[in-house]
Amino acid sequence: MAGDHSYLPGILAEIAEVAGLNAALKLAAEKGGQTVYIPSHASDDHWLTRTVGPEAAAAICELYRVRNTGGRFLIPIAREASARRALVKALENGASARQAAAASGLHERTAFRARARIKAKDPSQGDLF
């Protein structure tokens, strides 16, 4: 499930790394803007398991398990996460920063920063010095 999810805000990027992008976006859509308790283990009828599925829920619980206890986390609002995903996708498909900002509904400065991060990670970009 590895990939570059740096365009996602905080906890969603961490969740996408271990449980997949789809799980992170489902969690944001369901619980965005809310503080939730993520247990050390989620049962089959727990809201987390119902939201993202048993495998993703187990991965998320494992990620945030500390001394066999869970914790409380603020889940970012889904609108922002999906907008950032749209921004990065537009940039990766060749859109200018201004075009990507318009397509995603995010600020132009956000698009310029995202484009710089994408270029910094692109191995095909040669060094100037």
Residue 98 has a pLDDT of: 92
Asked whether the beta carbons of 60 and 16 are under 8 A apart, the reply is no
Poorest-pLDDT segment among 5-9, 47-51, 56-60, 95-99? 5-9
Question: Would you state the structure tokens that stand for residue 104, as one six-digit string?
Answer: 């995603």
The model's pTM is 0.65
pLDDT at 2 over 80: no
Write out pLDDT tens, residues 3-44. Answer: 677 778 889 999 999 999 899 989 998 998 899 999 999 999
User: Tokens 């907008």 — which residue?
Assistant: 83
Residue ranges in 1-129 assigned as alpha helix (H):
10-19, 21-31, 47-52, 54-64, 78-92, 97-104, 108-121
More confident residue, 77 or 87: 87
